[in-house]
Structure 1
Amino acid sequence: MRIKKSGYTAFFICLIYIIVCGFISDKQVYPRLGIVSGLAQDSLAYASGFKMIGESVPKLLSPALTDEQFNANLKKIKAAKCKVLSCNLFFPSNMKIAGPDVDEAKVLAYAETVLSRAGQAGVKFIVLGSSGARSIPVDYDMVKAKADFAGLCKKLAQIAGKYKVIILLENLETTETNFITSLKSAAEIVREVNHPNFRLNADIFHMMREGESPNEIIEAGALIAFSEVAEKQNRSLPGVMGDDFKPYLRALHKINYKGFIFIEGNIKNAPTEMPFAFQYLSAQVAAVYSEKKTD
């Protein structure tokens, strides 16, 4: 189903959502939706139905920002209609966090500032994607890279715990990085770190691009503290191309996931696409979470 200018499609999806929700018990709890749209689109996100948004570390929390700039950001966060729940783009591409060129002291000092500021700002989640920062040389020992990375992440988790922030390791795809390109491999790192402030972000968009089965969500289980989604072909918002996310949502439902699902995609026509995406994804979530779980 594609977005239509007439608005009939949006109305139809919204109607389905209302009908489906009517069959759900008042006690039914299902994932809350957010969107990575930034403070610049806070009002539109709120009007579209979202109550939570994602921003980026460079814009909001980076050590490159002066205290004055950061304090100005705090005022913007406080005035926002939506809750700024997460920030992505944790590490810049020139600050290596995996491979032979990691300057651990520099990485930890940088993370200390970012996570301290996240705590002050009330940002609960920092997404660790950072494709450039975590890419490794083609001929580098993968076993060593994973062991060293897990060791670094344990130290990052300790800092995050100090500021009551959760770092979310994100599975990426092979077009973006050559290190940790599946939910399965990301889950292995999270298990090794074994810290409550270092959890897993199940990125459904990247899973679809890599052809990864929804069963990997079930295998990861309680490691998952967050999920992100966009349509497979162009990373468009849900509803633009009409992608069916229900197999992955069904896996989340099976593990009793009741956390957050954030849309992180390319937005071409925000006033049209954002409200439609909220309606479209809400309908799929409601439909799946109203189903009876099967073994």
Structure 2
Amino acid sequence: MKSLRLSLLSFFCLLSVTNTIFAQKQTPTLGIASSLSQDSLVYAAGFKVITESVKKMLSPALSDEEFKENLKKIKAAKCKVLTCNVFFPADIKIAGPNVDEAKVLAYAEGVLSRAKQAGVKYIVLGSSGARSIPADYDVNKAKSDFVKLCKKLGEIAGKHQVLVVLENLQSSETNFLNTLKSAAEIVRGVNHPNFKLNADIFHMMREGELPKEIIAAGDVIAFVEVAEKETRSLPGVKGDDFKPYLTALKQINYKGYLFIEGSVKNASVEIPAAFKYLSAQINEVYLSKK
């Protein structure tokens, strides 16, 4: 009898683990933008991958010794530093009339070569200041020139086995490429396997974009970010419902990374709560048979 109880217990434990693995394979993997200094807290909350910043981790402005120290921290971390954001600082223009292409490409080479060394797989191209253009500048010319530049960024990224993902940004942050639709047009124009789209749901909500735009851009989406609409808080703080956007992601069969990028007031409370809150919505949408 005792052996039967142990066998049943073992069976149900195995079933639980199997169901968890199955769910993970069927749903996006959650990550969060966080400093490596919070690695243990983030890992304990359930996250296994994080976003750090290019400036802190990979920038060519860092000395070789500083970069080596970063590599040690990355290697020792419980969470994998999968991606870095804020690709270009505001003083390196990537759109508009003042682009120094040689400077841009040299900087990108430095960042992307270090990304490869660090095992960073994604570089998020938001860079609101770097891509803002003069108010009276020809937007069509800006887009055309930006496509040409991004083709070259894609080539460098390909050489270093990194994926650059272009982020849609709300109009309060930049005046160039404020919608998912406009960012998707750039990515399609670039047409390079190492240059894809980051669908930022927070910025979509701020610009009033509906979930159907995710479906329309589904062929080029390779990364997704999210935060709550009102104050860019972590999921669960205000209780935002992301299910319509998650449903759109399910419709395009997106099972990649979904990163939380928001402001935090009480990390020890909000980070674990965000993991549980967003995981629940993801599972409700993705594991439904509808």
Note whether the superposition's TM-score is higher than 0.5. Answer: yes
Kept after mapping to 2: 8 A contact 1:24/1:290: no
Could you tell me whether the CA contact under 8 Å between 2:23 and 2:287 is conserved in 1?
no
Q: 2:67 aligns with which of 60, 67, 70?
A: 70
User: Does 2:252 align with 1:255?
Assistant: yes
Query: Any gaps of 5 or more consecutive residues in structure 1?
Result: 1-18
Write the distance in 2 (CA, Å) between the matches of 1:142 and 1:94: 20
Say if 1:238 and 1:56 are closer, same or farther in 2 by CA, change over 3 A: same
Once the two structures are TM-superposed, the CA of residue 27 in structure 1 deviates from its matched residue by 8.5
State the one-letter code of the partner of 2:73. K
Structure 1 counterpart of 2:104, from 107, 113, 116: 107
**Preserved contact between residue 168 and residue 200 of structure 1 (Cα < 8 Å):** yes
Where relative contact order (Cα < 8 A, 6+ residues apart) is larger, the structure is 1
Contact 1:35 1:52 in 2 (8 A): yes
Instruction: Give the Å deviation of 1:40.
Output: 1.2
Q: CA deviation at 1:245?
A: 0.3
Matches of 1:281 and 1:127, distance apart in 2: 21
Q: Does 1:265 align with 2:265?
A: no
Is the contact made by 2:218 and 2:252 (CA closer than 8 Å) also made in structure 1?
yes
SS of the residue aligned with 1:54? strand
Q: Which of the numbers 163, 172, 182 marks the counterpart of 1:175? A: 172
Contact 1:150–1:193 at 8 Å: present in 2 too?
A: yes
Contact 2:92 2:99 in 1 (8 A): yes
Q: State how far apart, in whole Å, the 1-side matches of 2:169 and 2:27 are.
A: 25
CA offset digits 1:68-103 (Å, max 9, x no partner): 000100000000000000100110001100000000
The correspondence of residues 51-70 of structure 1 with structure 2, limited to 5 A, is 51-70=48-67
Deviation >3 Å, runs of 4+: 21-28
Residue in 1 aligned with 2:4?
none
In the TM superposition, residue 292 of structure 1 has moved relative to its aligned partner by 3.1
For 1:204 and 1:52, the matched residues in 2 are separated by: 19
Separation in 1 of the partners of 2:233 and 2:130? Answer: 25
Q: Is the 8 A contact 1:33 1:260 kept in 2?
A: yes
**Inter-partner Cα distance in structure 1 for 2:33 and 2:22:** 29
User: Structure 2 unaligned runs (5+)?
Assistant: 1-15
Identical residues among aligned pairs (%): 71
CA-based RMSD: 1.6
Paired residue for 2:35, among 10, 35, 38?
Answer: 38
TM-aligned CA deviation for residue 291 of structure 1: 2.2
Q: 2:116 aligns with which of 109, 114, 119?
A: 119
Structure 2 CA distance for aligned equivalents of residues 28 and 98 of structure 1 = 39
**How do 1:219-238 residues align onto structure 2 when only pairs under 5 Å count?**
219-238=216-235
1:189-204 aligned at under 5 Å gives the runs: 189-204=186-201
TM-score in terms of structure 2 length: 0.92
SS of the aligned residue for 1:232 comes to coil
Deviation at 1:195, TM superposition (A): 0.6
Q: Secondary structure at the match of 1:86?
A: strand
